[in-house]
């Protein structure tokens, strides 16, 4: 007769099941908490709206930018010691950073056009072509499938005032209102002469201020002589030294504000070219906190291996082996100007027939890597079929590039409302 194995008591079975269930729940909860903590660590200071609604197919993992320390700034950083619990403590984040989206998760522009969360999205369309202005903008928005927050245009000399009638229409287009970013390059006088009160330039600035005061009270981005590094001449008496630039910039902004153009949001725009940014005179170009609202820089990616080839982290913090002490422009700006929002005032990817897939791959990386640069509050593309050297930065150089760019512009981080909540309505 086969002996029957003893059976466990029903109460013991129930006790064991409950124990296993509780243990499993603890493990699941611990795993969930660990995953959530990792997710929070990857998120930017702007909260949920910075995260992606969906990943971009085919995107490689985000690269980590190399962070090199900077020498101590000449002015106090102004960071409040003893940040409140929960404050963002990563490099580039401030204890007094923008609080994030308002109820409903919406990002909006606030004082000085700084978004409460997210990143403003813009373009200078049709550059170096005959098709500029409204037609170029309409075509760009049609092919990219979205409205541009910022419209970037360029002016030169002492003739026509701005915003022009066309630019005002672009800014106020019903239901598609935009922020203007107007770039003025002086002509007819040196920087030193303008700073000293050149009569012709002052007369133009007074006329410009009166025009702005009367015809365009909305806040708009304004810069003076972008990429001025290319014109610096440190020879004594040249009128074009770095300090001459700073004095000229101060004079222009102060003259316009004194004339009633108090709505200009001043952006100093550098040329992020390592041989320039590592010059001894580079820091002398800064006009001063009282006349600068944003820090901007122009930078482009290259599709072929060599200088400027890489992903978005390389573009934001470009370095050179010959200048090992230069940390990259983003890290430099965060260190030197801890209280200023940052703008990429021009950016793009130069197309190469040797590496036609690079542009699309680059755009796929931007969405993932933008969270590594929480101080960037605006990205403004520069779209041209050919620059002075015949190089192509168009977002539709290839069908794959256009599709990747369209997906990039759809990400939640780039959805920002203007002013009081209705797009384009300014306070």
Q: What is the pLDDT of residue 131?
A: 81
Q: Round to whole Å and give the CA distance between 261 and 289.
A: 18
Q: What is the pLDDT of residues 223-233, one digit of tens each?
A: 999 999 999 99
Q: Round to whole Å and give the CA distance between 114 and 112.
A: 5
Q: Give the sign of the dihedral formed by CA 365, CA 369, CA 370, CA 375.
A: negative
Q: What is the pLDDT of residues 272-301, one digit of tens each?
A: 999 999 999 999 999 999 999 999 999 999
Catalytic residue among 177, 229, 314, 346: 346
- Prediction pTM value: 0.76
Q: Which domains does the chain have, with CATH numbers?
A: 117-417 (3.20.20.80)
Q: Is the pLDDT of residue 62 over 70?
A: no
The beta-strand segments (E) located in 258-316 are 264-271, 294-302
Q: How many residues does the chain have?
A: 427
Q: What is the pLDDT of residue 104?
A: 54
Catalytic residue among 227, 229, 361, 372: 227
Q: What is the pLDDT of residue 331?
A: 98
141 is catalytic: no
| Three-state DSSP state, 297 | strand
Question: What is the maximum alpha-carbon separation in the chain?
Answer: 120
Q: Are strands 342-350 and 376-382 parallel, antiparallel or unpaired?
A: parallel
Both tokens of 195, joined, read 């700073």
139 is catalytic: no
Q: Are 301 and 315 in contact (CB under 8 A)?
A: yes
The residue assigned the tokens 């002469």 is: 193
Peptide bond into 79 cis (omega under 30): no
Q: What is the pLDDT of residues 137-196, one digit of tens each?
A: 999 999 999 999 999 999 999 999 999 999 999 999 999 999 999 999 999 999 999 999
Burial class (CB in 10 A: 0-12, 13-18, 19+), 58: exposed
Please give the share of the chain, as a percent, with pLDDT higher than 90: 69
Q: What is the pLDDT of residue 102?
A: 52
Residue 386: pLDDT band (50, 70, 90) is confident
The residue that leads in pLDDT, 342 or 46, is: 342
Q: What is the pLDDT of residues 321-378, one digit of tens each?
A: 899 999 999 999 999 999 999 999 999 999 999 999 999 999 999 999 999 999 999 9
The residue that leads in pLDDT, 425 or 255, is: 255
Q: What is the pLDDT of residue 126?
A: 87
Q: Is the pLDDT of residue 70 over 50?
A: no
Q: What is the pLDDT of residue 249?
A: 99
Q: Is the pLDDT of residue 107 over 80?
A: yes
Q: Are 267 and 296 in contact (CB under 8 A)?
A: yes
Q: Dihedral, CA atoms, 34, 36, 42, 48, nearest 10 degrees?
A: -170
Q: What is the pLDDT of residue 105?
A: 67
């Amino acid at each position: 007769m086969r002996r029957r194995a003893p059976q466990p008591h029903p109460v013991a079975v129930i006790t064991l099941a409950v124990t296993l269930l509780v243990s499993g729940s603890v493990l699941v909860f611990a795993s969930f908490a660990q995953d959530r903590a990792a997710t929070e660590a990857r998120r930017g200071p702007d909260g949920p709206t910075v995260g992606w609604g969906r990943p971009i197919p085919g995107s490689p993992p985000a690269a980590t930018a190399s962070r090199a320390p900077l020498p101590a700034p000449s002015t106090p950083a102004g960071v409040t010691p003893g940040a409140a619990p929960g404050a963002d403590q990563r490099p580039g984040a401030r204890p007094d950073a923008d609080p994030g989206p308002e109820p409903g998760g919406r990002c909006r522009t606030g004082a000085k056009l700084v978004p409460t969360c997210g990143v403003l999205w813009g373009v200078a369309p049709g550059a170096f072509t005959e098709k500029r202005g409204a037609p170029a903008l309409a075509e760009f928005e049609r092919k990219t499938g979205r409205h541009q927050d910022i419209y970037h245009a360029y002016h030169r000399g002492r003739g026509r005032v701005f915003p022009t009638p066309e630019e005002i229409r672009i800014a106020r287009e019903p239901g598609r209102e935009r922020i203007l970013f107007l770039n003025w390059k002086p002509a007819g006088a040196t920087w030193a002469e303008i700073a000293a009160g050149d009569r012709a330039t002052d007369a133009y600035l007074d006329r410009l201020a009166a025009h702005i005061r009367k015809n365009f009270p909305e806040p708009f981005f304004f810069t003076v002589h972008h990429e001025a590094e290319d014109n610096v001449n440190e020879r004594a008496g040249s009128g074009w030294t770095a300090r001459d630039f700073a004095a000229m910039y101060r004079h222009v902004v102060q003259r316009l504000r004194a004339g009633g153009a108090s709505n200009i949001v001043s952006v100093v725009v550098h040329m992020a070219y390592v041989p320039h940014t590592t010059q001894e005179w580079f820091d002398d170009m800064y006009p001063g906190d009282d006349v600068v609202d944003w820090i901007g820089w122009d930078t482009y990616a290259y599709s072929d291996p060599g200088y400027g080839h890489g992903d978005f982290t390389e573009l934001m913090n470009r370095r050179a082996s010959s200048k090992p002490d230069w940390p990259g422009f983003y890290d430099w700006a965060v260190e030197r100007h801890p209280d200023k929002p940052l703008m990429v005032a021009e950016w793009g990817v130069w197309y190469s027939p040797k590496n036609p897939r690079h542009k699309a791959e680059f755009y796929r990386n931007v969405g993932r890597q933008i969270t590594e640069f929480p101080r960037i509050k605006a990205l403004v593309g520069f779209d041209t079929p050919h620059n002075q050297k015949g190089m192509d930065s168009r977002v539709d150089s290839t069908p794959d590039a256009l599709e990747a760019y369209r997906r990039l512009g759809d990400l939640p981080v780039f959805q920002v409302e203007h002013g009081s909540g209705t797009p384009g309505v300014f306070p």
